[in-house]
Amino acid sequence: MARQKGIIKLEGRIGDLSFYKNGGEYMARSKSGVDGDRIKKDPAFIRTRENGAEFGSAGKAGKVLRNALKVPISKSADKQVAGRLGAELLKVIQADTTNLRGERTVTAGDLNLLKGFEFNKAVGLESVVTLPYTLVFTRSSGDAVVNIPAFVPKSEIAQVEGATHFRLVAGVAAVDFANQSYEVDVAESADLVYDANTQPSAPILLNISADSPHPVFMVFGVEYYQSVNGQMYPLNNKASNPLALVLVDVV
């Protein structure tokens, strides 16, 4: 690749040259690589086709999962979350010991590999929340609970500059990857004051349909706020908000 110089900057394609903007700089590169039709048909590229099919499946699965949990994710996720989640889902697919290469699926793989995935790479949940919460999901009823014991915010929730309050947030989603559909429930605590006073035990309750035949995922995290004249404002820098995939339950 090469940098474009001169007054006029180009974007687009002219012949075998592509002009584009990357990181604020205008670049140019020539067309290279193997012809696409050859990759699609030539037996020599069967591994490439298999890898491409599974990479595409991972991307689609990641989009479904992100859409299912878009409400809490939107307040926490970093800009690379789609690629990072897709990479983890590719590992899930590659753990499928039933189907042939190129035909392996998310649901036949090991979805438990996703447990602990951080939607915000800037801050991990365990580095922010040290209180001993517990999780319960009952598939027969569809009930999901995050049990929050009594705790002291300043002792068990990391401090963020400018935050006067915070919320504990949770979500549960049953995801049908094959049909790219889902059922979800999201809930959060009240606005909790960030101080040294003890907060009473208060579980976060969620529910989806009983006996779902699909894999179920739970997320848990923290959102920080600042109170101004009685109004709660989310901190502009959502990089402080952790959110992690804390439970995976498969049939």
Answer whether 3's CB lies under 8 Å from 27's CB. Answer: yes
Strand duo 25-30 + 143-147: pairing: unpaired
pLDDT at 109: 96
Q: Per-block average pLDDT, block size 10, for the chain (251 residues)?
A: 59 67 68 59 67 88 96 92 95 95 94 97 95 96 97 96 95 96 97 96 97 98 94 86 97 88
Structure tokens at 148: 């929050």
Structure tokens at 226: 């600042």
Nearest-10 Cα torsion for 64, 113, 128, 203: 70
Kindly calculate the radius of gyration of the chain based on its CA atoms and give it in whole angstroms.
23
pLDDT at 1: 55
pLDDT at 43: 65
**245: closest CA among 133, 124, 160, 95?**
124
* DSSP one-letter string for 101-137: TTS--STTS-GGGGTT-BS-TTS-HHHHB-S--EEEE
The predicted model scores a pTM of: 0.81
Q: What distance in Å separates the CA atoms of residue 226 and residue 23, rounded to the nearest whole number? A: 33
Q: What distance in Å separates the CA atoms of residue 43 and residue 39, rounded to the nearest whole number? A: 8
Structure tokens at 156: 């068990």
pLDDT at 76: 93
pLDDT at 4: 56
* DSSP one-letter string for 151-177: B-HHHHB---TT-SEEEEEEEEEEEET
Provide the 10 A C-beta neighbour count for residue 178.
12
**95: closest CA among 117, 111, 115?**
111
pLDDT at 7: 58
**Burial of 225 by CB count in 10 Å (0-12 exposed, 13-18 middle, 19+ buried)?**
buried
Q: What distance in Å separates the CA atoms of residue 107 and residue 87, rounded to the nearest whole number? A: 16
**77: closest CA among 235, 241, 216, 219?**
241
Strand duo 204-207 + 143-147: pairing: antiparallel
Element (H, E) at 11: none
